[in-house]
Copies of this chain bind each other. A is one copy, B any other.
């Protein structure tokens, strides 16, 4: 029989942390914490399988699950000595979602479940705090109406505001028990009038509806959106954790808080957290009240005047310290812990591996190794390669002039500049139009996720270091300045007042999430400074990885950046950009307009010295590292002018009629240029183009050689679909190279060069055994290979790709992450076939996928020798390659 429900309590637990898929992250951790003997309120977890069953059963909970929930309930009653729905010692529950992956704030939660007109009285009697009991009851009604009944609660909220006004009260805390009692009765009336249904008073009825609502919330819009952004499968489902309530709002000896075992921004080893007395958990996260620091290290500008938990409840604090140390060693990672103090009694509600910035991730991993808690290998597996992205991008130029307007909490490090934007919608629209945006909000909520994704950085007026904006921004690796109380936002007028200055929607700001500074306008940036921990960490990665890491670079500047990031060579140097330089483009066009080979060769001779300089510049930067140069790839018509003026200019230069220019352009037009007269096809018809390039490559190498360098040249022929294309061009190139290497004195210059091909068409991959016979290397051009394998033009797919991703027809964008079942099949086939006829063949991948961690893993598993990616993704590829080696070898 399927076990749908798992009990947990401080004494024992049915589950453990390895059961995340079934119990969700929260449920598995609750069980694990119970096994460690931590003070966790008793409860039970309904499994993710039950969620999937719920969907299958047309949104009903099947009888077997109900039976198991009822048994679990009896156990909790025994554990706590309370009784669900009792009028003497009532048991109340929190009902929370908990999926395999953390999706903070995305799904629904109901607190205080089990309250009704009887239990409120019992609670008042038990706690001797009538006001607390009725406040809890009205909170429950409001939350249940919203989450379970789908009721629009603004009507309830305005009633509360009316009441406060009538009482002359500013804060909720000024209302009395009888005020809350009155409000409960008003709430129930409104709900009855608006929905035609009485508010449910039977606790079991409440429980079934709440469980169903949490299951249902797996498929609410914002949860789906969040999963898309974070690539979480839609078919995982969520578990439901039903846990006995403890109350942080039972008076000034109660409270609730969140803490991190290390600093999630910098990774520094210091216990760090915030708390609020007489409050429930959501008050901390929502960022409405400014929370207090738990200890001195947690103090900052906005909370430094508040008392620390250490001062207020030293025993509780010490208890918490003992627990966090136990947890960090147990989980071998930085923990994000939620706790509640009920009348001086500490309860741990949740622990999980804390979200952190990339810098923190690196530092924590490195520190845990020094502390002997982690091995290097474990440490390498702890950091998401994609997160390194944050570290590599530019930071503010310290020399630049800055007008600092104010500062807030340094909630997520990094510098960002952009146009001030106040709503998610506008942020999305602007980002689509290519604009950079800073999202400015009083506070953020899950509805703002899309806007945060679309922004360069986030600035909020309220909330602490663990507020929604701060946590989510760190997870996304976006700069965030939070709780900047000095700013006044007017959503209606779309303005923000900072100090005395008013900025409108459309003005620019710069924020530095590392310092918390907010600056006027766009402040210039310089390259990132890489920490010592980063270097250490990347050295470990280099030590374990098997794949070589190269970069795609077309000029000395990019090559230089890539070297700094650890590139071991150039995997793709495109030559076409060099043709576009203003001083060459006319010669290129002359070449295109030539009527015969002689004229073409004449025009090419003008370009030759430029190309030689291009290559020499790159060789000088790369020293004796390999440089893979791809011969001309785009169709010739890409080099022709489009503007009327340019056409006239060209006609004049060539001494022909404008008509003739127009006609030639017309003649070169292609219906599907992607599948047209380009790549090596150009060289089959006009071999002299490639021969000029080969000459430039080799002559530049000879100059480099004479300068004492030892360049390693790889000449790459693009767009081969048939082995004979390659053998034809290799034969001609070899002959030319042989003649070039013949020195004046008759001896031959030694040069380390290879000639190979890009595998970027399905047929080349399929017939790789034949192609390999004339190739020294293969480089998989997975961009074009994806286009042809799918029959999908990247330039045109934008119109329907979002729909394909939205309805799950494509699991992910195949241009971002290598499609392993289709394109990957061809790569694997080509590797095997290619090596069958040419054992010593060197193989790599260029194209965007070379910097995508999952694709790097694929390359490792399929025996490639290296990956090549854009300079800024080199460290990501290095780490991904190390992780692949650790996972698969």
> A residues near B, CB below 8 A?
670-677, 681, 684-685, 719, 721-722, 724-725, 728, 760-763, 766-767, 770, 784, 787-793, 795-797, 799-800, 803-804, 807-810, 819, 821-823, 825-826
Interface centre among A724, A762, A784 (most CB of B within 10 A): A762
Closest to A808 in B: B724
Known contacts A685-B803, A721-B791, A822-B763, A674 near B677 by CB under 8 Å? no
CA distance A790 to B722 in the complex (A): 8
CA distance A761 to B789 in the complex (A): 6
> What are 18 residue pairs bridging A and B, where the CB atoms are less than 8 Å apart in the complex?
A672-B674, A674-B675, A674-B791, A676-B793, A676-B796, A684-B803, A684-B807, A685-B800, A719-B791, A724-B809, A728-B809, A762-B822, A763-B789, A763-B790, A763-B823, A767-B822, A770-B821, A784-B791
- CB pair B671–A796 under 8 Å, yes or no, is yes
Q: Across the interface, which residues of B come within 8 angstroms of A728, CB to CB?
A: 807, 809
CA distance A725 to B787 in the complex (A): 17
A822 partner, pick from B674, B766, B809, beta carbons under 8 A: B766
- CB pair A677–B822 under 8 Å, yes or no, is no
Q: Across the interface, which residues of B come within 8 angstroms of A760, CB to CB?
A: 791
- CB pair B670–A796 under 8 Å, yes or no, is yes
Known contacts A681-B800, A721-B792, A766 near B825 by CB under 8 Å? yes
Q: Across the interface, which residues of B come within 8 angstroms of A790, CB to CB?
A: 675, 721-722, 761, 763
CA distance A812 to B539 in the complex (A): 53
- CB pair A821–B767 under 8 Å, yes or no, is yes
- CB pair B677–A675 under 8 Å, yes or no, is no
Q: Across the interface, which residues of B come within 8 angstroms of A804, CB to CB?
A: 684
Q: Across the interface, which residues of B come within 8 angstroms of A724, CB to CB?
A: 808-810
Q: Across the interface, which residues of B come within 8 angstroms of A670, CB to CB?
A: 793, 795-796
- CB pair A793–B763 under 8 Å, yes or no, is no
Q: Across the interface, which residues of B come within 8 angstroms of A671, CB to CB?
A: 673-674, 793, 795-796
- CB pair A763–B819 under 8 Å, yes or no, is yes
- CB pair B821–A791 under 8 Å, yes or no, is no
A793 partner, pick from B672, B685, B767, beta carbons under 8 A: B672
Q: Across the interface, which residues of B come within 8 angstroms of A810, CB to CB?
A: 722, 724
- Output the least CB separation between A67 and chain B (Å): 35
- CB pair A675–B791 under 8 Å, yes or no, is yes
Q: Across the interface, which residues of B come within 8 angstroms of A721, CB to CB?
A: 789-792, 822
CA distance A808 to B723 in the complex (A): 12
CA distance A677 to B763 in the complex (A): 23
- CB pair A684–B800 under 8 Å, yes or no, is yes
- CB pair A722–B809 under 8 Å, yes or no, is yes
CA distance A566 to B546 in the complex (A): 61
- CB pair B677–A799 under 8 Å, yes or no, is yes
- CB pair A677–B796 under 8 Å, yes or no, is yes
- Output the least CB separation between A216 and chain B (Å): 23
CA distance A490 to B788 in the complex (A): 55
- CB pair B791–A761 under 8 Å, yes or no, is yes
Known contacts A725-B809, A788-B788, A793 near B675 by CB under 8 Å? yes
- Output the least CB separation between A140 and chain B (Å): 42
A762 partner, pick from B677, B722, B788, B793, beta carbons under 8 A: B788
Q: Closest 10 interchain pairs by CB?
A: A675-B793, A763-B822, A672-B793, A761-B791, A676-B796, A762-B762, A671-B795, A672-B674, A672-B672, A670-B796
CA distance A366 to B333 in the complex (A): 87
CA distance A719 to B823 in the complex (A): 17
CA distance A481 to B728 in the complex (A): 44
- CB pair B809–A762 under 8 Å, yes or no, is no
- Output the least CB separation between A132 and chain B (Å): 53
Q: Across the interface, which residues of B come within 8 angstroms of A821, CB to CB?
A: 766-767, 770
Known contacts A766-B822, A822-B762, A677 near B795 by CB under 8 Å? no
Closest to A727 in B: B809
Interface centre among A761, A792, A808 (most CB of B within 10 A): A792
Q: Across the interface, which residues of B come within 8 angstroms of A677, CB to CB?
A: 796, 799-800
- Output the least CB separation between A814 and chain B (Å): 9
Sample of 17 further A-B pairs with CB below 8 A, known A761-B791, A762-B822: A670-B795, A672-B673, A672-B796, A674-B791, A675-B790, A676-B793, A676-B799, A677-B796, A684-B807, A684-B809, A685-B803, A722-B790, A724-B809, A728-B807, A761-B789, A761-B790, A767-B821
CA distance A766 to B724 in the complex (A): 25
Q: Across the interface, which residues of B come within 8 angstroms of A800, CB to CB?
A: 677, 681, 684-685
CA distance A762 to B770 in the complex (A): 19
CA distance A792 to B719 in the complex (A): 10
CA distance A770 to B822 in the complex (A): 11
- Output the least CB separation between A757 and chain B (Å): 13
CA distance A821 to B762 in the complex (A): 12
CA distance A676 to B825 in the complex (A): 23
CA distance A763 to B821 in the complex (A): 8
- CB pair B789–A762 under 8 Å, yes or no, is yes
Closest to A668 in B: B799
CA distance A762 to B764 in the complex (A): 12
Interface centre among A789, A800, A808, A821 (most CB of B within 10 A): A789
A787 partner, pick from B675, B719, B819, beta carbons under 8 A: B675
CA distance A685 to B799 in the complex (A): 9
CA distance A54 to B823 in the complex (A): 46
Q: Across the interface, which residues of B come within 8 angstroms of A822, CB to CB?
A: 721, 762-763, 766-767
Q: Across the interface, which residues of B come within 8 angstroms of A719, CB to CB?
A: 791
- Output the least CB separation between A536 and chain B (Å): 43
CA distance A819 to B767 in the complex (A): 11
- Output the least CB separation between A185 and chain B (Å): 47
CA distance A685 to B802 in the complex (A): 10
Q: Across the interface, which residues of B come within 8 angstroms of A799, CB to CB?
A: 676-677, 685
Known contacts A685-B800, A800-B685, A809-B684, A789 near B788 by CB under 8 Å? yes
A672 partner, pick from B675, B803, B809, beta carbons under 8 A: B675
Interface centre among A672, A722, A767 (most CB of B within 10 A): A672
- Output the least CB separation between A680 and chain B (Å): 10
Interface centre among A719, A787, A791, A803 (most CB of B within 10 A): A791
CA distance A770 to B819 in the complex (A): 15
- Output the least CB separation between A552 and chain B (Å): 21
Q: Across the interface, which residues of B come within 8 angstroms of A784, CB to CB?
A: 791
Q: Across the interface, which residues of B come within 8 angstroms of A793, CB to CB?
A: 670-672, 674-676
CA distance A674 to B674 in the complex (A): 9
CA distance A770 to B825 in the complex (A): 14
- Output the least CB separation between A225 and chain B (Å): 20
Closest to A667 in B: B799
Interface centre among A677, A684, A819, A823 (most CB of B within 10 A): A677
- CB pair A766–B789 under 8 Å, yes or no, is yes
CA distance A822 to B821 in the complex (A): 19
Closest to A669 in B: B796
CA distance A673 to B793 in the complex (A): 8
- Output the least CB separation between A582 and chain B (Å): 25
- Output the least CB separation between A783 and chain B (Å): 12
- Output the least CB separation between A849 and chain B (Å): 15
Q: Across the interface, which residues of B come within 8 angstroms of A788, CB to CB?
A: 675, 762, 788-789, 791
